[in-house]
């Protein structure tokens, strides 16, 4: 459990995996899907997910250079878990609860 949480335990990793669930994507496409993430944090997140074997990074020798990110078998295996989290979120994370959590984060 500790190793799994080390892989998924950041704010952005599950979100990046969720963005890549349907297709491979370029850095800019991922950034546009998660518009509130900084470029630096996204770069670090992608590097860590690649190191952990959750995503692949494929470079194309073109001009301009192109890089695409996609899920590995290990990454695809996480999708049912993330789907359950998304369903739980829809059921239990009401607007009132979200506002309370945001307020606590700002105060804390």
CATH code, 90 = 1.10.10.10
Rounded mean pLDDT, 72-85: 96
Give yes or no for a contact between 6 and 56, defined as CB atoms under 8 angstroms apart: no
Residue 53 lies in domain:
2-107
Query: Quick one: how far is CA 94 from the chain centroid?
Result: 22
Q: Would you call 51 helix, strand, or coil by DSSP?
A: helix
Number of domains in the chain: 1
The conformation of residue 53, written as its DSSP 8-state character, comes to T
Q: What is the pTM of this model?
A: 0.82
29-69 confidence digits (pLDDT tens): 999 999 899 999 999 999 999 999 999 999 999 898 899 99
């Amino acid at each position: 459990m500790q190793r799994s949480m080390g892989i998924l335990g950041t704010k952005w990793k599950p979100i990046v995996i969720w963005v890549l669930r349907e297709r491979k994507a370029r850095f800019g496409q991922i950034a546009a899907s998660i518009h509130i993430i900084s470029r630096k944090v996204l770069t670090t997140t992608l590097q860590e997910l690649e190191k952990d074997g959750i995503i692949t990074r494929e470079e194309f020798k073109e001009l301009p250079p192109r890089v695409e990110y996609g899920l590995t078998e290990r990454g695809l295996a996480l999708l049912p878990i993330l789907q359950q989290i998304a369903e739980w979120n829809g059921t239990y994370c009401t607007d009132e609860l979200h506002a309370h959590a945001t307020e606590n984060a700002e105060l804390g």
